Copies of this chain bind each other. A is one copy, B any other.
Amino acid sequence: MNSIINSLSVFGLGLIGGSFALAIKNKFPEIKVYGVDQNLEHARKALELNIIDEIKSADDNEVLQSDLIILAIPVSAIHDILPQLLSDVSEKTVIIDAGSTKGSICQNISKHPNREQFVAAHPIAGTEYSGPEAAFPKLFEDKKNIICEFDLSSEKAQKYANWFFETVGMNNIFMDAEDHDKHLAYVSHLSHISSFMLGLTVLNIEKDEENILNLAGSGFASTVRLAKSSPDMWAPIFQQNKSHLSKALDEYILQLQVFKENLEEGNSEELKAIMLKANQIRKVLS
C-alpha cells in the first residue's frame, strides 16, 4: 500500500492522537506529521518521543493546508472547533474525527457547505491511560472503527478515511450517528460510569488503602480498571450522550435495586436466575 497523503495534522497528542501519529509514521516515515495540542507539555513530550515532526498552532497555515487532519481531542472541543475548521481548511484537506460520540458533532455541521470534507469516526480502541507517553503504534491493530454518515463525505474523503484506518490496522463498521450514540451508551459509557462509581464507593469506605491492596483480587482490579480513565476526556462524552446515557443509568440502577430487594428477601433462586441471565454475556465475549 502506498501513501496517498504527504502531510498529516493531529489535533490532540494523547493516547489516541499520539498512537495514530506513531502508526502512520511507522508505515510511512515520509509523511510530514504536525502536532497541535493546547497542552504545551504534551506537545513537547510528543516531539521528544518522535510522535510528531513539528509542533504547530491550530491556525497555522501548514496545518490548514494539510492533506489530512485528525481530531483526537475531547468531544466538546471537536463539537466547538469543527465548523470553523471546515471553513478555514484548504479545499483539498480532509478532516476525520475520533470522538466517542457522533450525534451532536454530526448535527452541528450537517448544513456546513464543506460537510463533505469531513468523516465522522469512532475508533474503538483505548486503554485506561492517557497522554503522549501512553501512545503506542499498535493500539488500533485489529480493532473496530465506526464510521457514521459515510454517504455525506465526498468520494475523496471516503478514500482517505479508508486508507487511513486500513493503514493503522482497523476494520470499519458503518452506522447511523444516533444509533451509534445509543449503543455506545450501553456498551461503553455505562461501563465507565459503573467502574468510576465502584472505585469511588470502595475508596469512600476503605480509608485505609492498605485494605484494598491486601483484600482485592484480580476480579476487583478488572472491574475498577476504567475508574482510572481521564475525567477531561469522559465528562464531555457523557454530556454529549446525556439522553441515552441517562436512560442506561436508570436501567442499570433498576437492575441493582431489584437484585438488592431479592437479596434482602433471601430469594436465592431468583438471584441465581438473574445471574444466570447475566452469564449469557459469555456467548458474546469469550
Contact = CB atoms under 8 A, between A and B. Distances in A.
How often does this chain occur in the complex, in copies?
2
B215 A128 contact: no
A256 B193 contact: yes
A222 interface: yes
Interface residues of A, number: 91
Interface in A178-209: 183-184, 186-188, 190-206, 209
B253 A266 contact: no
B281 A199 contact: yes
B209 A248 contact: no
Interface stretch (A4-12, A28-36, A56-64, A234-242): A234-242
Contacts of A246: 260, 263-264
A281 B273 CA distance: 32
B252 A197 contact: yes
Interface of A: 124-128, 143-144, 146, 173, 183-184, 186-188, 190-206, 209, 211-229, 231-232, 234-236, 238-239, 242, 245-246, 248-253, 255-257, 259-260, 263-264, 266, 268, 271-285
25 contacts: A183-B206, A186-B202, A187-B212, A188-B216, A190-B201, A191-B202, A194-B194, A194-B198, A198-B252, A200-B274, A202-B281, A203-B280, A212-B284, A212-B285, A219-B226, A220-B285, A222-B222, A228-B281, A228-B282, A229-B279, A231-B279, A235-B268, A245-B263, A246-B260, A246-B264
